Amino acid sequence: MEEMDSLVERCPRVAELDNESLERLNLMIGSVDESVGIDHLVNCLADNTSAGGDGVIRCYVGFEPSGKAHIGWKVLSLQLKRMIEAKANVLIFLADWHAWVNDKFNGKMEDIQLTAKYMEETFRALLDYPPEGEGPGELRFVWASSIMESGDYWARVLRCSKNMSLARVRRTFSIMGRSEDSSDGDLSRFFYPALQAADIFEMNIDVAIGGMDQRKAHMYMRDVADRWNWYKATCLHTPIISGLKSTGARMESFDHKMSKSDPNGAILLHDTEKKLSKKMRKAYLDPENPDSPVYELIQHIILPEHGELVITPKPEYGEPSTWNDLDSIKQAIASGEIHPFDAKMAVANGLSRGLDAVTKHFEEKPETLERVNELTK
């Protein structure tokens, strides 16, 4: 987490927080790539209030139901676990109508909603089945179709669209995985950022969470709040995991982002340990380059979840060793103390252990995954 002086400079009211509130703040913002507008969250903690007026801090992350899960969901789930530990109410928003606008499953709502049910099952397992409800430290799922029945919602969508230029909206199209010039033939897509902003206000969200690729949507929401003098939710942006064959170098376009559309470059949550090892063998890792998707997986998943990376070379090549610091791991790989292959296999093993709950769930209850497999094969 940032130093106290830096936090106070960003938001003077941090100095008013007691130790318990500071610990909650640290859990919420300490491991993200970026936090924007922490004033609202700090005010909630200092005054024991929230956008809903009841003191329950509500955070949300939204997903288009679009297919099977990849390892990026694990990064988000670790952040959501921290939010639950910090006594926030965690809302996973299943954006079925947004997926329809974005032509997922060719706009077949039945398939979109089946995939949403699969997402519910997957996140329950990833989050270790926390209590569900609307209280602090609880999890809930909300579908877009459930809040769109309200006329007040659509009035809010119009307000979120008012005085926003087409050029401003086009600049957000990357949140749909589309280029700025991709949608002139489909007016519905121009409402997508307004829908996403309206969702946040409609559900009294205090903290909006998403990958760094969702930043433009959150900034659009904050612009809307300024125009209408509404509260501005704090935005937390988690790291993006690069495709396995990418160099891991950061690019504004997120072209390096891991995507399930490239099966060999993406780790799916349902990959067996054998398949994980096969994919990790081919992952980019140059001992002389400090950027690698392997290092990203260590930094954002292995160390936060397990606290260590366990290297287990074949006996003829050395003794097992345990590492708990990314810089030390990079130095050891650069010096030859750790062979890149052994590092990759250690990551595969750590990821596999972290996915045991998901594997167990779908072994015991395979029906939904089997139906999604049929849709995505």
Q: Residue written as tokens 């809930």?
A: 140
Domains of the chain in sequence order: 4-238 (3.40.50.620), 273-376 (1.10.240.10)
Task: Answer for the pair 66, 122: CB distance below 8 angstroms, yes or no.
Answer: no
Q: Which of 91, 93, 94 is nearest to 137 (CA)?
A: 91
pTM of the model: 0.93
Task: Provide the pLDDT for residue 255.
Answer: 52
> Residue 315: CB partners within 8 Å, gap ≥ 6?
none
Q: Report CA-CA distances (Å) from 280 to 200, 259, 322.
A: 37, 15, 19
**Residue spans of the chain under pLDDT 50:** 252-253
In angstroms, the CA 138 to CA 89 distance is 5
Which helix (H) or strand (E) segment holds residue 210: the answer is: strand 207-211
Task: Provide the pLDDT for residue 186.
Answer: 77
Q: Report CA-CA distances (Å) from 288 to 265, 283, 333, 340, 374.
A: 21, 15, 9, 11, 43
Task: Answer for the pair 19, 51: CB distance below 8 angstroms, yes or no.
Answer: no
**Phi/psi of residue 54, nearest 5 degrees:** -115, 5
> Residue 8: CB partners within 8 Å, gap ≥ 6?
14, 15
Got the DSSP string for 273-327? Answer: HHHHHHHHHTS---TT-S--HHHHHIIIIIHHHHS-EEE---GGG---EEE--HH
Burial of 100 (0-12, 13-18, 19+ CB in 10 A): buried
Task: Provide the pLDDT for residue 253.
Answer: 47
Task: Provide the pLDDT for residue 256.
Answer: 64
Q: Residue written as tokens 């809302």?
A: 91
Task: Provide the pLDDT for residue 285.
Answer: 95
Task: Provide the pLDDT for residue 245.
Answer: 87
Angle between helices 151-161 and 192-202 (to 10 degrees): 130
